[in-house]
Amino acid sequence: MKKRLSKIIKLNHSKIKSNIIQIATILLILDQFTKILVMTNLKELKDYIIIKNFFSLYYIKNTGAAFSILENQTIVLIILSLIILVILNNYISLLTKSSKLEKLSLGLILGGILGNLIDRLLYNSVIDFLSFRIFNYNFPVFNIADIGIVVGVTLFVLSTIIDNISEKDAKKIDIEAEIKKIEDNTKTIKSKKKTTSTKKKTSKKTSNKRKTKQ
């Protein structure tokens, strides 16, 4: 029984890990492919308008993180990325069950971190090219990997909240089931007591009748 259970757990874990890696691989390929297209077809620091005053392609090499945080600190950012990847790998290694939403979120985060890490290792910077202007505000230029990280983190938080709510609901159902069991047991005990007392009364009446006859 224990061996069978451990086999099921291992199979579930390998399936979860495989699904996460598949999602991460798809995002990573898409990210690297778009970056190669940008580097080979667009000139750096030139704006290519797609939708006027809203969306354009703007090829830039970012030496920092999001919003130019830790600019020119490539080594620090590489180390941070590796630390996060180790933590992420350890978390995934502990998973024996996971929702579709959680697997999707972890795959997106993993793929996004790997995408930007490859850039830093190859080009000493991150290739950004997606530029949006929202309400006269020029949003920081980003890439597919950044989208994966942001969406992944958002979905992970959402899946955690949903899982917590589900667990609370499951606990409530368990408590309600236990209360019902107790109530049913109490009713059964009471009915047994009534039956016993009725039988005793009946036997007493029968014995009294016999004594009277004698």
**Catalytically active residues, by annotation:** 128, 146
Question: What distance in Å separates the CA atoms of residue 125 and residue 137, rounded to the nearest whole number?
Answer: 24
Contact 146, 69 (CB under 8 A): no
Contact 62, 141 (CB under 8 A): yes
Sequence-ordered alpha helix ranges (H) in the chain: 2-41, 74-93, 100-123, 144-213
Other CB atoms within 10 A of residue 83 CB: 10
Contact 125, 45 (CB under 8 A): no
Question: What distance in Å separates the CA atoms of residue 194 and residue 64, rounded to the nearest whole number?
Answer: 80
- Give me the residues paired with residue 48 across strands: 57
| Contacts for 6 with CB less than 8 Å, ≥ 6 apart | none
Radius of gyration of the chain (CA): 32
Question: What distance in Å separates the CA atoms of residue 3 and residue 18, rounded to the nearest whole number?
Answer: 22
